[in-house]
């Protein structure tokens, strides 16, 4: 009777190990699919962004760096302030 119980436990552990291995495979595939889907969405958004810059080329000159607009605004403010402070 103990031999049957021991064999049942051994088979149960082997089945559990097999299920864990298959789950790991399915998880890897699901992660790859999610990564591809995310990349596809990113490329679609990137295309819509570049389409805006193609339609409005004047925006491209302002967007060379993320801080370009802020720096340009500060330079304009400084120029206005200096022109107003002159007698």
DSSP at 67:
T
Q: What is the pLDDT of residue 70?
A: 64
The better pLDDT of the pair 74, 40 is held by 40
Q: What is the pLDDT of residue 81?
A: 78
Q: What is the pLDDT of residue 6?
A: 95
Residues 15-33 have a mean pLDDT of 97
Go through 8-25 and write b for each residue having 16 or more CB atoms within 10 A of its CB, e for each that does not: eeeeeeeeeeeeeeeeee
DSSP at 65:
S
Is the Cβ–Cβ distance between 53 and 60 less than 8 Å? yes
Q: What is the pLDDT of residue 20?
A: 97
Sequence ranges of the domains in the chain: 1-55, 57-87
């Amino acid at each position: 009777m103990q031999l049957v119980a021991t064999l049942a436990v051994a088979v149960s552990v082997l089945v559990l190990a097999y299920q864990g291995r298959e789950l790991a495979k399915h998880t890897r595939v699901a992660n790859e699919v999610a990564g591809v889907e995310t990349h596809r969405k990113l490329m679609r958004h990137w295309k819509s962004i570049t389409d805006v810059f193609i339609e409005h080329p004047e925006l491209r000159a302002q967007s060379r760096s993320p801080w370009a607009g802020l720096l340009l605004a500060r330079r304009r403010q400084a120029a206005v302030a200096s022109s107003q402070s002159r007698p």
